[in-house]
């Protein structure tokens, strides 16, 4: 006979994975809308975000109820605490997708700017990071999660490079400021999505191995000896 | 609604053990009754199958309806009530006869003597409590040779053999270790698909784990009756919060 509690934990995981697929859809669609300058597609992101928000509330309630009723310990406790934190990070990712989509209508009315291919490379890298963080959660794979965390600095460098390119455009042709600033904000939002993917991976490592790696906690502990 | 209690008062001589209890119990749910020792929870449980009738000088006022019929009405069939509302006690009370005869006991009382039918009932009842596979070759052995957990399962199978509608459980795990307790709790969650279960427990975490709705009793009063989620995350009454948080009781 399976433990009913295990079934309830699986239900939480299933709901979180459904929420993740909505977050991935929102991010992919917002970037596509940006690339194609498609206002209709951009307007669809808001509805996806509403669904993400509903999942966030439902998952949080499930976790609180399970903690209150079952007093989980060990891996079960770490799983529920990890899910509560991931849930919050995923909801924020949905908000960043909404932000990206919101720049589409504004950009259409601005003068065209030279292509900034860096943004699309960055978008690719960010989507891959999110995809790998999701896989690490699904497989409880701390090693994969660790690798995702290490890629965060790559995205930070891409963001800095994008800012440099856009600043150069603005200095050379001030009339491009109206187009460049939204793209700067897109870069900023993508970088935040990468940060949140890193947070998810830190939670996966905590769930799988009970290790806290955020803020380089382990290195600090070793350094104190 | 399977059970409806209105304005229930119960007195042991001059001592009032239940005070104006109003309660509705829904079908196919596990209803937990929690509260400190002496709060009246076991007394309330014994109202549902009129076990209190066996105690001298008990006086009951108010109404207790099961399927809209007043079980305290003089014309209500008490034998049928006890068949319909089975009870599991704190300590397993297997009879000192074979495992088979324990389960067949109730059906025989009800006039079933056909061997094939009895075998079918015994096998079905033992399977329902997840016991049949592990003891199918030992059905002639004494029931007392089983572990405490298996004896408790056997007692539940003995109830199921007469096809009750409601199962009353009075601290059913208090004599069991944590592993056996976990197994009985899993069994309860399976059984609620077919039966309505009311459990009295001093172990409020057990009520939190298995119950769908929970009543908190104090000094004979039903202080709060709510969904398990509400009781354990946001109880309406400060006394409920005080008890579940361990501040008193």
pLDDT tens digits, one per residue of B219-236: 999 999 999 999 999 999
Of B181, B172, B144, the closest CA to residue B87 belongs to B172
Q: What is the pLDDT of residue A143?
A: 96
Examine the pLDDT at B150 and tell me if it is beyond 50: yes
Q: In whole angstroms, what is the distance from residue A90 CA to residue A53 CA?
A: 9
Sort out which chain A residues have CB atoms less than 8 A from B209's CB and list them: 5, 69-70
Q: Give me the percent of chain A exceeding a pLDDT of 70.
A: 95
To probe the interface with B, which of A9, A69, A76, A80 has the most B CB atoms within 10 Å?
Answer: A69
Domain with B33, as residue range(s), is 3-93+168-244
Mean of pLDDT values over B170-180: 87
User: Chain B closest CA to A159's CA: distance in Å?
Assistant: 44
Question: Could A3 and B186 be called an inter-chain contact, meaning their C-beta atoms sit closer than 8 Å?
Answer: yes
Nearest to B209 among A1, A64, A69 (CB): A69
User: Chain B closest CA to A85's CA: distance in Å?
Assistant: 19
DSSP B52: G
> For residue range A134-148, what is the model confidence (pLDDT) as tens digits?
999 999 999 999 999
Higher pLDDT, A2 or A176: A176
**B176-188 burial, b for 16+ CB within 10 Å, e for fewer?**
beeebbbbbbbbb
Sequence-distant (≥ 6) Cβ neighbours of residue A34 within 8 angstroms? A42, A100, A101, A103, A104, A107, A186
* CATH code of the domain in which B47 resides: 3.40.50.300
Q: Place A223 in a pLDDT band, splitting at 50, 70 and 90.
A: low
Instruction: Count CA within 13 A, CB hemisphere, residue B27.
Output: 8
Rounded to whole angstroms, what are the CA distances from B55 to A147, B51, B52, B169? 71, 8, 5, 19
Examine the pLDDT at A1 and tell me if it is beyond 50: no
Nearest to A68 among B182, B186, B208 (CB): B208
Sequence-distant (≥ 6) Cβ neighbours of residue B244 within 8 angstroms? B34, B204, B216, B231, B232, B235
Q: Place A219 in a pLDDT band, splitting at 50, 70 and 90.
A: low
Q: Place B54 in a pLDDT band, splitting at 50, 70 and 90.
A: confident
Q: In whole angstroms, what is the distance from residue B103 CA to residue B118 CA?
A: 9
Sort out which chain B residues have CB atoms less than 8 A from A3's CB and list them: 182, 186
> For residue range B105-145, what is the model confidence (pLDDT) as tens digits?
999 999 999 999 999 999 999 999 989 999 999 999 999 99
Report DSSP letters for chain A, one per residue: ---HHHHHHHHHHHHHHHHHHHHHHHHHHHHHHHHHT-HHHHHHHHHHHHHHHHHHHHHHHHHHHHHHHH---HHHHHHHHHHHHHHHHHHHHHHHHHHHHHHHHHHHTSPP----HHHHHHHHHHHHHHHHHHHHHHTT-HHHHHHHHHTHHHHHHHHHHHHHHHHHHHHH-GGGHHHHHHHHHHHHHHHHHHHHHHHHHHHHHHHHH----GGGHHHHHHHT-
Q: Is residue B15 in a domain? A: yes
Q: What is the CA radius of gyration of chain A?
A: 20
> For residue range B71-108, what is the model confidence (pLDDT) as tens digits?
999 999 999 999 999 999 988 999 999 999 999 999 99
Nearest CA in chain A to B229: A65
Q: Give me chain A's average pLDDT, please.
A: 93
Report DSSP letters for A19-77, one per residue: HHHHHHHHHHHHHHHHHHT-HHHHHHHHHHHHHHHHHHHHHHHHHHHHHHHH---HHHH
Q: Is residue B149 in a domain? A: no
> For residue range A161-198, what is the model confidence (pLDDT) as tens digits?
999 999 999 999 999 999 999 999 999 999 999 999 99
Nearest to A69 among B130, B182, B232 (CB): B232
User: Chain A closest CA to B31's CA: distance in Å?
Assistant: 14
**B67-102 burial, b for 16+ CB within 10 Å, e for fewer?**
eeeebbeeeeeeeebbbbbbbbebebebeeebbbbb
Question: In this complex, how many residue pairs, one in chain A and one in chain B, have their CB atoms less than 8 Å apart?
Answer: 27
Rounded to whole angstroms, what are the CA distances from B2 to A57, A90, B34, B84? 33, 43, 20, 12
Q: Is residue B19 in a domain? A: yes
Question: Could B187 and A1 be called an inter-chain contact, meaning their C-beta atoms sit closer than 8 Å?
Answer: yes
Q: Is residue B140 in a domain? A: no
Phi-psi region of B239 (alpha: psi -120 to 50; beta: other; left: phi over 0): alpha
Nearest CA in chain A to B233: A68
Token output for B144:
């007392």
Question: Could A1 and B229 be called an inter-chain contact, meaning their C-beta atoms sit closer than 8 Å?
Answer: no
> For residue range A42-82, what is the model confidence (pLDDT) as tens digits?
999 999 999 999 999 999 999 999 999 999 999 999 999 99
Q: Place A218 in a pLDDT band, splitting at 50, 70 and 90.
A: low
Sort out which chain A residues have CB atoms less than 8 A from B229's CB and list them: 65, 68-69
Q: How many domains is chain B built from?
A: 1
Question: Could A71 and B205 be called an inter-chain contact, meaning their C-beta atoms sit closer than 8 Å?
Answer: yes
Nearest to B233 among A4, A68, A71 (CB): A68
Question: Could A1 and B186 be called an inter-chain contact, meaning their C-beta atoms sit closer than 8 Å?
Answer: yes
Examine the pLDDT at B3 and tell me if it is beyond 60: yes
Q: In whole angstroms, what is the distance from residue A61 CA to residue A67 CA?
A: 10
Q: Is the dihedral of CA A180, A181, A186, A189 positive or negative?
A: positive
- CATH number attached to the domain at A4-223: 1.20.58.220
Nearest CA in chain B to A7: B186
Q: Is residue B222 in a domain? A: yes
Sort out which chain A residues have CB atoms less than 8 A from B130's CB and list them: 1
Q: Is residue B130 in a domain? A: no
């Amino acid at each position: 006979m399976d433990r009913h509690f295990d079934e309830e934990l699986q239900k939480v995981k299933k709901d979180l994975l459904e929420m993740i697929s909505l977050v991935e859809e929102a991010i992919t669609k917002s970037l596509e809308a940006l690339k194609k300058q498609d206002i209709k597609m951009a307007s669809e992101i808001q509805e996806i975000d509403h669904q993400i928000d509903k999942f966030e509330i439902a998952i949080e309630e499930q976790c609180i109820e399970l903690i209150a009723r079952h007093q989980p310990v060990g891996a079960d406790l770490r799983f529920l605490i990890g899910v509560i934190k991931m849930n919050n990070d995923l909801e924020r990712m949905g908000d960043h997708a909404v932000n990206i989509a919101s720049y589409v209508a504004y950009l259409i009315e601005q003068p065209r700017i030279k292509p900034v291919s860096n943004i699309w490379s960055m978008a690719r890298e960010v989507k891959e990071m999110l995809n790998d963080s999701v896989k690490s959660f699904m497989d409880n794979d701390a090693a994969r999660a660790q690798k995702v965390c290490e890629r965060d600095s790559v995205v930070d460098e891409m963001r800095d490079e994008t800012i440099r390119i856009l600043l150069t455009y603005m200095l050379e042709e001030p009339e491009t400021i109206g187009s460049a600033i939204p793209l700067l904000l897109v870069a900023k939002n993508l970088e935040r999505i990468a940060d949140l993917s890193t947070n998810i991976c830190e939670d996966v490592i905590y769930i799988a191995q009970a290790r806290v790696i955020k803020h380089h906690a382990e290195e600090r502990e070793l350094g104190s000896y | 609604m399977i059970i409806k209690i209105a304005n229930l008062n119960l007195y042991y001589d001059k001592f009032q053990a239940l005070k104006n209890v109003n309660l509705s119990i829904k079908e196919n749910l596990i209803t937990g009754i929690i509260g400190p020792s002496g709060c009246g929870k076991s007394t309330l449980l014994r109202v549902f199958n009129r076990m209190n009738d066996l105690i001298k000088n008990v006086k009951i006022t108010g109404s207790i309806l099961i399927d809209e019929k007043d079980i305290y009405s003089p014309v209500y069939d008490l034998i049928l009530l006890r068949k319909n509302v089975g009870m599991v006690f704190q300590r397993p009370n297997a009879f000192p006869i074979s495992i088979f005869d324990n389960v067949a006991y109730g059906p025989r009382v009800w006039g079933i003597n056909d061997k094939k039918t009895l075998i079918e009932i015994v096998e079905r009842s033992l399977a329902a409590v997840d016991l049949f596979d592990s003891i199918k070759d030992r059905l002639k052995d004494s029931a007392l040779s089983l572990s405490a957990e298996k004896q408790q399962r056997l007692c539940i199978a003995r109830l199921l053999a007469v096809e009750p509608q409601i199962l009353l459980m009075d601290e059913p795990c208090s004599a069991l270790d944590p592993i056996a307790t976990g197994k009985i709790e899993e069994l309860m969650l399976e059984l609620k698909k077919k039966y309505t279960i009311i459990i009295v427990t001093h172990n409020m975490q057990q009520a939190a784990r298995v119950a769908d709705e929970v009543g908190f009793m104090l000094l004979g009063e039903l202080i709060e009756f709510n969904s398990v989620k509400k009781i354990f995350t946001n109880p309406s009454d400060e006394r409920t919060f005080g008890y579940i948080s361990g501040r008193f009781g």
